[in-house]
Structure 1
């Protein structure tokens, strides 16, 4: 009876699995993709460490023992630094063209003096570095081969759904050409980069898998295995692969230019939160709110602080992340239509994009202009405020000519404290109008209350970085 029941349950589970498309085996897929996956070994010269060694009194019976210890760990017998030594590291990668282009992680080959590629066939070739992109942790290598190499193609990572089967392959813990299978656990994960778009998977990924491919069931690369979340450095079923739709664009630029060339709009932005949307009278809390417009393409096109970017190059913008990626993926020098909301009205501007890498290299902080001091202060919104002086601006690291009201004290019981305002912050706008004098802020508060607004939108700078904060006007007496 029990055996019959067990058999019935087993058949039922198999039928369900078949109905959902679960593969009976990954063997055919593994055989198809293995020739395109490679093991990567790098070597580099590193200086021997002389720090952190034990301190032993001269003449101690342990003196000779610790001298031997230091010899083995980077110091000579006389205490002098040892000669530099060679360090070896392991990783994974995959071939994307028959003429020998190979994709891996930047951290796999960073600082390497020598890069060796081992193919599934056992053949080994030296690789040259074509280019790297630390922002997405992607590197492109090239080997010279007398025969065409087996390769794989990128798939569309946007088509992957949570629950879809995936296969990871690489060189985990130096074991070489190991296959693991799992599912897409989540999509759109952010770790710490501006351009992060990670696929989370429970397919086993360990040290050495870095740079290896994550495949869909068609044998297409839909991610590059980059990171694991682990308390001890081993796989616990939480791995992250950079989405192929990000990697494909980066690789194309590295192949063409040897470097990335991302579009640059030239604005500082933040998400439109519900309280900010209410303070601005917006119908929905979406879009990218412009907090600052320094010299650059956006300023030349007429964008202003307080504008909300709703559409970029025909694509709707829901969050800051959406805009950042759309801009980065746009060609440098292209004229792009940007739809904004300004004072309740829709406008379309044309922005000719610059290049982000050049803008970041050219950033400089000019001298601070002098401004007469205004010693008076006022307490509003749980804040004690004073007009910004030239000396205060310089001490706070603010951009040139910054005008506004500096926060000298914040009541810990206030809404302002709860929303992150602190001593040293500078309020430069209120109600999307510039504030220079204390009276300016008082006027904006009165206008907000008279208009029946529940909150007042403040533009706050901290160390030169701006953000909008909405504070309730109900607390104002």
Structure 2
């Protein structure tokens, strides 16, 4: 008799517990629901934190934009579809100086102009396209100064991305850190935007 009573009580308690679960879940869902004002406030706070982090990284760079403006390139392409923009940079490799950019920036263009952020027009002597990568290099005249390409990169290293952000023909600066390093790909936290295709990723030493 006692066992039967205990079973009924246990069964009743179990049913009550199960019956309460949906109510608790509904209350939690209501608590998790945010107003548009709260969501906007969170977005503003996240943006503020990101901008503060960028400024902290930028402060570590000892060279200024003006000091490297002759090595940063704005690429302007014209075709029957109109005009498009991209970025590039001047760097030395194996004793030669090249203008580097992405293939998709220049492929299909009828006319291409390359101008440094300093205002100088560059006239490449030839172009080479990588067979398996979205990369193009254009040979420049001897004596042209460029960045030195590094093969060393570590996770957490501060980086700067200097390019033609948003395709506005105005070189801008974005800052972040190296988040992962692979055999062929390096990921960074900087907010890459339209127009940055072909931009250099620079470390503290350039």
Post-superposition offset of 1:100: 5.2
Q: Which residue of 1 aligns with 2:106?
A: 109
> Residue in 2 aligned with 1:138?
135
Asked whether the equivalents of residues 115 and 126 of structure 1 are also in contact (C-alpha less than 8 Å), the reply is no
TM-score (norm 2): 0.62
Structure 1 residue 126: deviation in Å?
Answer: 3.9
**Structure with greater proportional helix content:** 2
Q: 1:39 aligns with which of 57, 74, 93?
A: 74
Answer 1 or 2: higher relative contact order, Cα 8 Å, separation at least 6.
2
Counterpart position of 2:177: 183
Aligned partner of 2:159 in structure 1 is 166
User: What is the distance in 2 between the residues matched to 1:130 and 1:216?
Assistant: 27
Aligned residue among 77, 91, 95 for 2:86: 91
Query: Which string of whole-angstrom CA distances, capped at 9 and with x for unpartnered residues, describes residues 159-191 of structure 1?
Result: 322111111111011232111111011122xxx
Residue 118 of structure 1: aligned partner: 115
In the alignment, the residues of structure 1 paired with residue 78 and residue 140 of structure 2 have an alpha-carbon distance, to the nearest angstrom, of 17
Using structure 1 for the length normalisation, give the TM-score.
0.29
Q: Give the C-alpha shift of residue 217 in structure 1.
A: 0.9
Note the C-alpha offset of 1:30: 3.3
Deviation at 1:32, TM superposition (A): 3.4
Computed over aligned residues only, the root mean square deviation of the Cα atoms, in angstroms, reads 2.6
- Distance in 2 (alpha carbons) for counterparts of 1:35 and 1:167: 16
Aligned mates of 2:150, 2:106 — CA distance in 1: 25
Counterpart CA distance in 1 for 2:118 and 2:90 is 13
Tell me: CA distance 1:27–1:174, structure 2 relative to 1, closer, same or farther (3 Å): farther
1:301-450 equivalences under 5 Å are none
8 Å CA contact retained: 2:162, 2:199: yes
Q: Secondary structure at the match of 2:127?
A: strand
Structure number, greater radius of gyration:
1
The one of 139, 146, 155 equivalent to 1:151 is 146
